[in-house]
Amino acid sequence: MNNASPLIQTVTPERWAGFSMDFIGAGCTGLLVKNGRAVRTLKSGRHFSFALPLLEQCQIVLVDTKLRNLDVQSHGDFLSKDRFLIDATLTVIYQVIDPKRVALELSDPIAALASAVKDCMGLAIGQFSLQQLITQGRLLLRQNLLDRVQDFYPLGFNLEDVRIGDVSFPETNGVIRQVEGMSARQEAENSAALQMRIAEAGRPIAPQAPVQQLNLISGHSPASLPASETAASFDRDLQQLTEQLAQNSLPPARNSPSLAPTVLASSDRKNTAYLIYKFSGQAIGLTANPFTIGREPTNTLVLQDPQSSRYHAQIRRATDEVGKQRYQLVDSGSSNGTFVGGQRLAANEPFWLANGCEIAIGDQKWVFQDG
């Protein structure tokens, strides 16, 4: 089992009067492509084909169907159940089961396979705590990946075996580094909460009074001035400086704070919920149904967090058992998970949101408020 031969090869057969005789070796499958369309699948053996000279273009695409291996290594891509960064190195042994899908419908089949392996690995690591990964991480991850072989069928591949090389943690001081990151986030949250309280109280922050410098040194040389004039000039400058400092220390005149303009609430405000961003206090209305979240620009809420998936999660408005309109949070099979109150949600299973629920995706946090 090796990757000495390429996965896909394209051969143009030689023809005599339009006829061609070709041989397909063992462990390969050929696709007869005529004028850009696959017309026949060629198994191992000898095959004849015909194409009109100068009028038809005919090629044979050879796909290696032997067992091959693919090395996959992550770089801080995964999070454990208790939110520790995890790195994993593994070797996947795979086989092509749909040559047409792999050769003609995927622009980069190896990259698609590696991406699918990382997605499954992210889901697997997110189910286990740090202690479980330290004690029996290789066994748990291997078994979890082998239980998900059906996820690779749509790509045209089958997973024969998985070998976990290593399960490690980014940098030796990873735990300390994460604690420092949590402290920085807590400080940012406290600062944002303080700014929100100041804004709600209607007290604008008074800018600091500019510092005015007084020139205490005369333009003339001190030696050229009489002693009495030098002392009088110094006393004058000192008195001016004292008066200026006393004036700057007085509290500013209290002006009545200007009120924000009155805005009429929309008629559907009572049916609209909001996500309150914890770091800035910004309110995001859940006006779309479903309200999608992820890194893709087509999402309703586009994230720049590297720990979020392209289509990470969505919030849907639905009717519960008693006929009340409520909101559900659904994780769309993300790699690093969606957390509510510190608990990771199961993929593709709706979770009913309650007022005040804290939602976390990567390093981003919101508080759900039902209007």
With cut-offs at 50, 70 and 90, classify the pLDDT of residue 23. confident
Task: Output 215 or 138, whichever has higher pLDDT.
Answer: 138
DSSP annotation string for 211-249: PPP---S-SS-GGGS-HHHHHHHHHHHHHHHHHHHHHHH
Q: How far is CA 135 from CA 11, 167, 169, in A?
A: 50, 10, 14
Is it the case that residue 342 has pLDDT exceeding 80? Answer: yes
Checking if the pLDDT of 188 tops 80, the result is: no
- What is the distance between the alpha carbons of residues 138 and 116, in angstroms, rounded to a whole number? 19
Q: Which is nearest to 137 in space by CA: 80, 181, 179, 96? A: 80
Closest alpha carbon to 128 in 337, 298, 349, 323: 337
Structure tokens at 56: 């038809």
Per-residue pLDDT of 110-146, as tens digits, reads 999 999 999 998 888 888 888 888 888 888 899 989 9
Predicted confidence at residue 172, as pLDDT, reads 43
Average confidence score pLDDT of the chain: 77
Which helix (H) or strand (E) segment is 187 a member of?
A: helix 174-201
Question: What span, in angstroms and rounded, lies between the C-alpha atoms of 235 and 219?
Answer: 16
Q: What pLDDT score does 55 carry?
A: 77
Find the mean pLDDT for residues 48-66: 82
Cβ neighbours of residue 300 under 8 Å, at least 6 residues apart? 288, 290, 291, 292, 293
Q: What is the pLDDT of residues 165-183, one digit of tens each?
A: 888 877 544 444 445 455 5
d(CA 34, CA 50): 10
- Report whether the peptide linkage leading into residue 261 is cis, meaning its omega lies within 30 degrees of zero: no
pLDDT of residue 255: 40
Distance CA 260, CA 196 (A): 15
User: Across residues 343-368, what is the average pLDDT?
Assistant: 91
Q: In whole angstroms, what is the distance from residue 24 CA to residue 60 CA? A: 10
Instruction: Phi first, then psi: give them for residue 352, nearest 5 degrees.
Output: -75, 125
Q: What is the mean pLDDT of residues 233-261?
A: 55
- Which pair of tokens denotes residue 186? 């807590």
CA terminus-to-terminus distance, the chain? 61
- Dmax (CA) for the chain in angstroms is 122
Written as six digits, the tokens of 170 are 């980014």
Structure-model confidence comparison of residues 270 and 122, the more confident one? 122
Give the torsion sign (CA, 328, 332, 338, 343): positive
